[in-house]
Chains A and B, each alone.
Chain A
Amino acid sequence: MSTISAAMEREGFQALFFGNPDATFVFDTSGTFIHCNDQLIELSGYSRDELHNMTFDPLVHPDYLEETVRQFARCAMGENCRYLIRAVTKYGDPLDVDITNIPVRGTDGTVVAVIGIARDISAILAAEAARLRMKGELHSTLNQMAIGIGFVDRQWRFTFLNDMALRFLQSDLVTAIGASLLDLLPGVSETDFGAACRQAMHESRIATARAFSEDLQKWVELTAFPTAEGIVLHVTDVSEDQRTKLKLEQNAERIRSQAALLDASQEAIYLRDLDGRITYWNKGAAQLFGWNDDEAVGEHARELLPVNPEAFRTATEHVLRVGDWDGEVEMYTRDGRIVIVGCRWQLVRDDDGKATAIFAVDSDITEWKRGEDKRNRAQRLESLGTLAGGIAHDLNNVLTPILMSAQLLATSETNDSRLALLGSIESGVTRGADMVQQVLSFARGEEGVVSVLDIAALLAQVQEFSRDSLPKAIRFDLTVQTGLWPVRGDSTQLFQVLMNLITNAGDAMPGGGQLTIRAMNGADKASNRVILEVEDSGYGMDAETASKVFDPFFTTKGLGGTGLGLATSSTIIRGHGGDLDVYTVPGLGSRFRISLPAAEEGAGAEPAEPPVQDALPPGKGERILVVDDEATIREIACQTLEANGYQTLAAEHGREAIEIADRGTKIDLVFTDMMMPEMDGAETAAYFMAKHPNIAVMAASGLNANGGVARAAHSGVTSFLSKPYTTSELLVSVRETLDTWGKA
């Protein structure tokens, strides 16, 4: 004991014993504590006094006591020992401790005491356990993944492979772990995969390769990620994906090979993928929409075409849901026109039934749609005519006995007042019979005598006749184009129509005014036409009235109007293969316009005007926007201008014109009609002056009413052209306007 005590006195020992961060203590050979440092007190929970003369037994977990006793005995015999046990604190808490026992020998060499050092390793063991648990979880997670994952060290050896990776390699852990990548996949270094791996390993960059792997006999996508230890490989089987892609390419190829066939079609045929991106665009589509295939392919259809994207989207959704869609959509063309398009859309599916694209066959039905209204009206008139005819027949039978009875009674009547009564019955019946007569002629369009007519002669007759019937306060102007084409028709009927229009014109100008009749040659797509216009400077009509004037039994005249004059006129003109239309502005007047097909032999034999094109001032590629609600006039103006070096755009009314201009379309001159149903010339000109002051506005006006021209002049019209105008008048006027405008 004295040895220990003496040793404890030494300063070096003191420092070692008390300064040791581990619990340090001295036993006598029986295992009883002699000394201890503060660390043991702290670790065990016992006080210094309690530890003094206490054996180590209470401090050792019962499971480890036997081992502890055995190790201590060895040390007491003179051996150094180190072992792990579980200790217990005063409060019963277990501690994992690393024990070192060192024997202390006396001067005679016998062991007199045992030094013990106890290091608490609970935290280290817990951390290790957690690490192991985590590793297990990680492995199980990696093994459940559908992609192959492999860890490769810097010597290209596999250090880890998940189940999927082993399946790809058709190998097992025992074979693969530690084996070289190059041994397991001998062909890999020559492939894109090898290059990707090297890039990740040597340049520390993520690299991806997709190719058919000869080693694995599959289409594979490999991504190599650099790590501290080497690289991690992600491998995915993309065979399915690749098959789809291949099929899509084959489909596209097939469609391309059919393109020649599709290009021959008049219809607009195009294909868009499910994102709406155009992938195919035939010549018909280029023609209809104005975009060629280079411009259209790759664009989103909904951004390029529809006027109303919402309607377009609804239709597209219908295709995706149901498989097809038929309908009408308004679409923009490249030059900003709006066309009504009849659509047949079909969902395209691949061999597996998966939707891949929308196949569209579209056609321009704008003209047809506009004609539809007219056709509907004609049909309505026809059925009304049949009905009216039947009623008129029966009415005549009813009127017969009334008329004759009244007259028979009158033959033997001498009482004056009774005779007057019978006279009123008779005149009532006569008036009724007249009205029935009108209904009948409306209903039947009365078959007449058809011959080739000289319209100029007919108009002279009409003028002569109406001199007597029109009030003197009405001025009558008649303009007939020289070389007017003849027309095939019934002179009596056409005379009736013209007289009817003139009577109406007179009724619209009770205080006098200007009546103008014009006759000129014209043309539409189908045939040469002779145009007759009857124009007044009277009340005019609002749009609603104008839309009904041709309806039978519609009248604005109160008592005396049967409402059949214009209906009958319209029937007669249609019977001649022509059209009767009205243009009117409230407060300015109305223009009724008859368009009749020219008689073929006459039209072919003598051209109306000798060609004088050489003398006409040509255009210099300027772009003219032609605004007229009458398709024939619009087309003739456009054709004339284009034939003489101008570019043209067309709009049906002022609103369409300003829409085109507001989209930023380049326009040099707007040539607008003054009388249009929706936004007239004056309004249009005013808008252009305010919003597009650098665009010249030229107005065509047939209305001689000074008020109209004055209003238009105030609204910003640059120049006027009075209707009807000849080709040379149009070209001279356009040229002058552009040149003057340029200088201004």
Chain B
Amino acid sequence: MLEPTGGSVLIADDDSLVRMVLRMGIENLGHQAVSVGTFEELGTALSEQAFALCIMDVSMPCSSLEDRLDQTSRLAPEMPVMVLSGYSEAPETVREQGLRFLSKPISLDELGVALAGFGMGFAGGAETA
């Protein structure tokens, strides 16, 4: 088992299956993950714990992407956010804020590369600062 190196990842997606595989994928890559399915759960998780990265789905019921991005930048201004979507194009907000964007479906490799981009390489791989 690989050891986590860069703290844990917060997953925000309303689809429980997606939440589950993302968590397992991240753990498989040697990191810890916590997942939430709603705006409220996101707020609770952010106020309870610091995360190294948030992976956020574009469409979640009852809240807009902008609302959620506002919330994360308020509660965890230092935490980077990567946006995930079933659409192949990044929404305007994502492009404006220069956020990393991934379109579904994502493979394990894509996930690994993306995490590495945030300084979360494999536990046994090249150590980043």
Contacts and interface: CB of A to CB of B under 8 A. Distances in A.
Interface of A: 389, 392-397, 399-405, 407-408, 411, 426, 429, 433, 437, 440-441, 444, 446-447
Contacts of A441: 88
B89 interface: yes
Contacts, number: 69
Contacts of B59: 393
A446 B105 CA distance: 19
Interface string B74-105: 00000000000111110000000000000111
24 contacts: A392-B86, A392-B87, A393-B59, A396-B104, A400-B15, A400-B18, A400-B105, A401-B15, A401-B17, A401-B18, A401-B21, A403-B105, A403-B106, A403-B107, A404-B25, A404-B106, A407-B25, A407-B108, A408-B25, A408-B108, A411-B28, A429-B105, A440-B88, A447-B89
Contacts of A395: 86
B86 A396 contact: yes
A69 B92 CA distance: 144
A444 B89 CA distance: 10
A400 B88 contact: no
A426 B15 CA distance: 20
Interface in B8-32: 15, 17-18, 20-22, 24-25, 28
A179 B19 CA distance: 124
A405 B21 CA distance: 6
Contact of B108 (A392, A396, A404): A404
A258 to B, nearest CB: 58
Contacts of B105: 396, 399-400, 402-404, 429, 433
Given A396-B105, A400-B18, A400-B106, A408 B86 contact: no
Contact of A411 (B89, B108, B111): B108
A129 B53 CA distance: 135
A373 B87 CA distance: 31
A393 B86 contact: yes
Nearest to B19: A401
Contacts of A437: 88
A400 B108 contact: no
Contacts of B87: 389, 392-393, 396, 440
A389 to B, nearest CB: 8
Contact of B21 (A389, A392, A404, A440): A404
A400 B109 CA distance: 13
A338 B18 CA distance: 62
B25 A397 contact: no
Given A393-B86, A401-B15, 16 more contacts: A395-B86, A396-B103, A396-B104, A397-B15, A397-B18, A400-B104, A400-B105, A404-B21, A404-B25, A405-B21, A407-B25, A407-B109, A408-B25, A429-B105, A446-B89, A447-B89
A56 to B, nearest CB: 140
Nearest to A411: B28
Contacts of B17: 400-401
B15 to A, nearest CB: 5
B63 to A, nearest CB: 17
A426 B128 CA distance: 31
Interface residues on B, range: 20 to 34
B20 A401 contact: yes
A392 B28 CA distance: 28
A14 B127 CA distance: 179
Nearest to B57: A397
B21 A408 contact: yes
Contacts of A389: 87
Contacts of A433: 105
Contacts of A408: 21, 24-25, 28, 108
A60 to B, nearest CB: 134
B108 to A, nearest CB: 4
Contacts of A440: 87-88
A423 to B, nearest CB: 12
Contacts of A405: 21, 24
Contacts of A396: 86-87, 103-105
A401 B17 CA distance: 6
Most B Cβ at <10 Å: residue of A389, A393, A400, A446: A400
B62 to A, nearest CB: 17
Contacts of B103: 396
A401 to B, nearest CB: 4
A271 B24 CA distance: 82
In the A-B complex, list the 10 residue pairs whose CB atoms are closest, starting with the nearest: A393-B86, A396-B86, A404-B21, A399-B105, A401-B17, A407-B108, A396-B104, A400-B105, A401-B21, A403-B105
Contacts of B18: 397, 400-401
B111 to A, nearest CB: 8
A309 B27 CA distance: 81
Contacts of A429: 105
Nearest to A441: B88
A446 B59 CA distance: 19
Nearest to A410: B108
Nearest to A426: B107
A220 B46 CA distance: 108
A585 to B, nearest CB: 38
A641 B103 CA distance: 56
A397 B104 contact: yes
B107 A407 contact: yes
A392 B104 CA distance: 10
A527 to B, nearest CB: 30
A393 B91 CA distance: 14
Contacts of B28: 408, 411
A492 B106 CA distance: 24
Contact of A394 (B86, B106, B108): B86
Most B Cβ at <10 Å: residue of A429, A433, A437: A433
Contacts of B106: 400, 403-404
A95 to B, nearest CB: 127
Interface string B52-67: 0000000100000000
A40 B103 CA distance: 142
B127 to A, nearest CB: 21
B108 A397 contact: no
Interface string B106-121: 1111010000000000
Nearest to A389: B87
A408 B22 CA distance: 10
Nearest to B111: A404
Nearest to A437: B88
B86 A404 contact: no
Contacts of A407: 25, 107-109
A404 B107 contact: yes
Contacts of B22: 404
B35 to A, nearest CB: 13
Contact of A399 (B24, B89, B104): B104
Contacts of B25: 404, 407-408
B109 to A, nearest CB: 8
A411 B24 CA distance: 12
Most A Cβ at <10 Å: residue of B21, B85, B86: B86
Nearest to B106: A400
